[in-house]
Amino acid sequence: MSERPRQARTVEADLLRWLPPIFVTAALATAFTLVIRANELLTGERSITRWFSDLDVVVVAPIVDVLEFISRDEVAPAVFVIIFPIVWWAWGRYAALTYLGTGGITVLTRITDLASRPRPTDDLQWTEAVFGAGGYPSGHVIYAMLVFGMLAYLVGYYMKPGRSRTALRVLLVVLVLTMGPSRVINLDHWAMDVFGSYLLALPFLLTAIWLHPRLPGWLDRAPRLQSLVGADREL
């Protein structure tokens, strides 16, 4: 059997494995955003938001405080910038540029609101939305998904198996999963703002994870670009 048909079938199988979840999550995110745009509070949303905001557990408060600190507008970019050279030093230019490109998508959340959704008041009332300061999507949730989610993937991709890798990946995944609830606990967002933000970020994260190990091979015909981004070292 020739090598080319075998490679073609491998590429086809790879596409069939990755493209459906990417397109499905993108379609779900789009559909959910349209639903959000056409409604005010969804059924049960106020109750869910109230339940989170009433959480008063000793373990919860410190976690929420940490997440609130690292997600502040003046702190989050600094965290991102500090991590970038560490990734470069540990895993090379290509990994750092992948991290930079994925995290850079979060800038889009600062450009416009996708729905006219106000942030909740202390008594969970629906008020008038202020364009550019609305609650959908949550920039902090998308930031956590793309920055810490991609970092968790890179840790798994580059680090050798062991307790350090496992512990670091668990920590990063916990940051991603708890960022959303913390925003609802602090009444920075309604519950569905957070849910929709996870949905919106997921197809971007999946696409970046899919591209990272494959792009170096695709750049074989452009060796200068391949070398420029450091992808030649991945081959």
Taking only the tens place, the pLDDT of each residue in 188-198 is 899 999 999 99
Measure CA 110 to chain center.
Answer: 15
Question: Which residues are CB-contacts of 117 (< 8 A; sequence separation ≥ 6)?
Answer: 36, 129, 134, 135, 136, 190, 193
Distance CA 197, CA 226 (A): 33
Cis preceding linkage at 137, omega within 30: yes
pLDDT, position 229: 75
Q: Which of 154, 203, 155 is nearest to 18 (CA)?
A: 203
pLDDT category of residue 127 using cuts at 50, 70 and 90: confident
More confident residue, 38 or 112: 38
* Burial annotation 151-186 (CB, 10 A radius, 16+ → b, else e): bbbbbeeeeeeeeeeeebbeebeebbebbbbbbbbb
pLDDT, position 62: 75
The pTM is what? 0.88
Query: Is the separation of the CB atoms in 15 and 7 below 8 Å?
Result: no
